């Protein structure tokens, strides 16, 4: 199962290598990873999306907790959380289909942020499902290049009763 793990770490050199080393040392492929500062400049938050057996992931999260520079490890998947990703997609267009592409992008509440005679660059944010859906629809037009940030996630302030009890 896919897990979204949020890791609060000390904002200093080498910490990312320690975290990533725990995954690579166990032969895990990280699907996506984002790092950025939090409200406290001494603390960074990593959002790691990784797939794998639950028991092994529990092991990885215990190992993460053991690292001295790690403040907190939260498996977001156990709770309700908001999860967003940004993608920039360079799609091939011609005079015949520009309008159609714009319509599609609008439906996904995306934006065209760059334009040339042969391409549109589309910016879109959302869950990975939404972005995957947009990619699928744009694919027939021809995707020249694409970049995705990987997910960032934050837990919902309001949690369903049963998930609270589980915690």
Partner 1 sequence: MKKKGAEILIECLEREGVDIVWGIPGGQAIPIFDALFDSKKIKLVLTRHEQGAAHMADGYARATGKIGVCVATSGPGATNLVTGLATAYMDSIPMIAITAQVPTKLIGNDAFQEADVVGITRPITKHNYLVKDVKELARTVREAFHIATTGRKGPVLIDLPSDVAKTETEFEWPDKIVMKNYSPNYKGNPSQIKKAAEEISNSKKPFIYAGGGILSSGASKELKAFAEKTGAPVGLTMLGLGCFPGTHSQFVGMLGMHGTRASNLAMNESDLIVAVGARFDDRVTGNLAHFAKKAKIIHIDIDPSSISKSVKADIPIVGDAKSVLPELTKQVLQRKHSEWWAKIGEWQKSFPLLYSRKGALKPQYVIEQIYEMTKGKAIIVTEVGQHQMWAAQFYKYDAPRTFISSGGLGTMGFGLPASIGSQFGKPNSLVFDISGDGSIQMNIQELIIAVEHKLPIKIVILNNGYLGMVRQWQQLFWKKRYSGVDLSIQPDFVKLAEAYGAVGMRVTKEEEVKEALEKAIKITDRPTLIDFKVAPEENVLPMVPAGAAITEAIDYKDVELA
> Using CB under 8 A as the criterion, which residues of the chain lie in contact with partner 1 when the complex forms?
10, 14, 17-18, 21, 25, 55, 58-59, 62-63, 65-71
State which residue, 73 or 122, has the beta carbon closest to partner 1: 73
3-class SS string, 150-165: CCEEEECCCCCHHHHH
State which residue, 13 or 96, has the beta carbon closest to partner 1: 13
State which residue, 6 or 119, has the beta carbon closest to partner 1: 6
CB of 48 to partner 1, least distance (A): 17
Report helix, strand or coil for 132: helix
**Look-up of token digits 């998947």:** 77
**Maximal C-alpha separation, the chain:** 58
CB of 130 to partner 1, least distance (A): 36
CB of 166 to partner 1, least distance (A): 17
CB of 21 to partner 1, least distance (A): 6
10-41 CB burial, b ≥16 within 10 A, e <16 = ebeeebeeebeebbeeeebeeebbbbeeeeee
């Amino acid at each position: 199962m896919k897990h979204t793990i949020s890791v609060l770490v000390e904002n200093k050199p080498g910490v990312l290598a320690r975290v990533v080393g725990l995954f690579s040392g166990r032969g895990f492929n990280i699907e996506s990873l984002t790092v950025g500062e939090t409200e406290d400049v001494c603390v960074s938050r990593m959002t790691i999306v990784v797939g794998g057996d639950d028991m092994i992931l529990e092991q990885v999260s215990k190992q993460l907790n053991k690292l001295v520079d790690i403040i907190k490890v939260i498996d977001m998947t156990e709770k309700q959380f908001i999860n967003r990703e940004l993608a920039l997609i360079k799609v091939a267009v011609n005079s015949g289909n520009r309008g159609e592409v714009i319509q599609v992008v609008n439906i996904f509440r995306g934006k065209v942020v760059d334009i040339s005679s042969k391409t549109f660059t589309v910016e879109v944010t959302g869950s990975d499902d939404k972005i995957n859906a947009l990619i699928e629809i744009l694919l027939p037009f021809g995707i020249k290049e694409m970049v995705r940030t990987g997910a960032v996630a934050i837990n919902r302030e309001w949690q369903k009763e049963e998930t609270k009890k589980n915690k």
